[in-house]
Amino acid sequence: MAERGVVLSLDEGTTGATAVVVGLDGEIRAKGYREITQHYPQPGWVEHDPLEIWSAVQLSAQEALHAAGVGPGDVRAVGITNQRETLVVWDRRTLEPLAPAIVWQDRRTADRCAALKARGLEDLFRKKTGLVLDPYFSGTKIAWLLDANPTLRARADQGEIAFGTVDSFLVARLTAGAAHVTDVSNASRTLLFDLRSLDWDDELCKLLDVPRALLPSVRGSAEVYGTTRGVPGIPDGIPVAGMAGDQQAALFGQACFSPGEAKCTYGTGAFLLMNTGAQPVASTRGMLTTVAWRIGKEVAYALEGSAFVAGAMVQWLRDGLGLIKSASEIEALAASVPDSGGVVAVPALAGLGAPHWRPEARGVITGLTRGTTRAHIARAVLEGIALQNHDLLSAMQQDASSKLTALKVDGGASQNNLMMQFQADLLGVDLVRPALVETTALGAALLAGIGAGVWQGPDEARRAWKEERRFVPSMDRKQVDEHLTRWRAAVAKA
């Protein structure tokens, strides 16, 4: 890798914006962070303020660049990764948002999805998009927004407004409106995108009543989309050259470049992706088929399992129940008891995702007794997050007709050693944690470096990945089966 210069990675997530400065040796030089406010206007609704997102991105970038001591001429490229299914609508001319951002966790379109299923359309959507009809994805959200606001629909028909996932909004802002684009990985999460043609699908747009004029152009994951202009704290003229949805960026940052390699990211939710190579693999067990990335003419696909609530369950213990004062306390609290005392927690606070796909499901805590303490509940929550992932990996391995020998892990909650060991025990495979758990931001930086010509391709980028710790299964099969039996009974009650 080259020696001089850095790449700026903008990682806009569900709870905050992180900016990471990556040296051309693949090492992180500095980091900045700003939290984002969650808005819950009605039960099941989740929104963000797009201007707060943009402000948080700018401030985190300024913080990271200042901490790295980077000069204006040192930034070689900007990469973007983002919460994928969250949508933003803005005025093409002024770039001002025209509605709150509707977040991927939002469930307001559950009835619309049910109506589409009742019309027998789910097989069509699954065949073309690799997705299921669920409120998780942004296509039904934008349809809802246009129907709820006739003025927006009229303006959409006239081409005056732009729709995009968060990546599109950030590129528009970074380039002063010069680019209205998305990449194949984000487009593949909308219910409007054909996995094989790698373009928007007219039939699906018509079924959801979403005008094509509203949609961004679809580009690869590592190419120049435009250059920065007028962004405080970021020099003008830097190529914005890499883009991928957060989970695909993490797959890339984990160096899962070969078919069969997989990672799990533990963040607000838990997301398990397996690289399936140059052809999409259809799931028969509730997994999603998605585009991982496109670099030049080379396309990689992935199977994905999504658990909507993981770290968010720990936040709920903190903010909703007040059982802990900070998320970092939970590991010590859970480790203060030898087991959960028979308590099982199902983290279905936003419904159940793959492989169940039950938007109506609700969180459950079972097995409570007079002897249950907050430590037992804390341990049950950590175990419940891991048990969700057992369901995901079991279904994924059957779809892919292959068995993993190791699973790479990342995200903030992957620092929880107790949960990682329990996860390895359940799965019966080694869990491998990298030295750098900010793999989402690293993936976006690597893609941007490739897009700007700083790095030549994935093989060179692979050098940035280093193992920090390996968790080896140690629980006997009888204990694992007992955990799974209690878990399945609890899920049936959710």
Is the per-residue pLDDT at 87 higher than 60? yes
Paired with 434 in beta bridges are 467
Q: Could you tell me if 35 and 63 are in contact, meaning their C-beta atoms sit under 8 angstroms apart?
A: no
Whose tokens are 């968010």? That residue is 312
The half-sphere exposure of 314 on its side-chain side, counting CA atoms within 13 A, is 25
pLDDT mean across residues, the chain: 92
The average pLDDT across 85-111 equals: 94
pLDDT digits (tens, 9 = 90+) for 369-390: 999 999 999 999 999 999 999 9
Mean pLDDT of 168-184: 96
Q: What is the pLDDT of residues 349-366, one digit of tens each?
A: 888 877 887 878 899 999
pTM strictly above 0.95: no
> 159, 213 in Cβ contact below 8 A?
yes
Query: What tokens were used for 442?
Result: 């690293």
Contact 6, 74 (CB under 8 A): yes
Quote the CA–CA distance of 423 and 52 in Å, as a whole number: 35
**Element (H or E) spanning 380, and its range?**
helix 374-400
Q: Is the pLDDT of residue 54 over 90?
A: yes
Q: Over 90: is that where the pLDDT of 284 sits?
A: no
Distance from C-alpha of 126 to C-alpha of 415, rounded to nearest angstrom: 35
Instruction: Give the separation between CA 428 and CA 301, rounded to whole angstroms.
Output: 25
Task: Give tens-digit pLDDT for 131-162.
Answer: 999 898 999 999 999 999 999 998 998 889 99
Per-residue pLDDT, averaged over 32-45, amounts to 93
- The whole-number pLDDT of residue 404 equals 80
Decide if 427 contacts 403 (C-beta within 8 A): no
> Which domains, ranges and CATH numbers included, belong to the chain?
6-246 (3.30.420.40)
Please tell me the total number of residues recorded for the chain in this structure. 494
Q: What is the pLDDT of residue 20?
A: 94
Percent of the chain with pLDDT over 90: 73
Average pLDDT of the residues in 103-120: 93
User: Which of helix, strand or coil describes residue 431?
Assistant: strand
**What is the rounded average pLDDT of the residues 394-411?**
83
β-pairing, 344-346 vs 364-366, is antiparallel
Of 60, 20, 15, the closest CA to residue 441 belongs to: 20
Q: From CA 396, how far away is CA 432, in angstroms rounded?
A: 18
Give the 3-state secondary structure of residue 460. helix
**How do residues 210-252 score in pLDDT, each as one tens digit?**
999 899 999 999 999 999 999 998 889 999 999 999 999 999 9
**Per-residue pLDDT reduced to its tens digit, 420-459:** 999 999 999 999 999 887 888 999 999 999 999 998 887 7
| Residue with tokens 């589409």, as numbered in its chain | 116
The DSSP annotation for 166-216 comes to HHHHHHHHHTTTS--EEEHHHHTTSSSEETTTTEE-HHHHHHHT--GGGSP
Q: Please tell me the number of Cα atoms within 13 Å of 34 on its side-chain side.
A: 19
Amino acid at 461: A
With tokens 């990985």, the residue in question is: 185
Amino acid 229 reads R
Per-residue pLDDT tens digits for 179-197 = 999 999 999 999 999 999 9
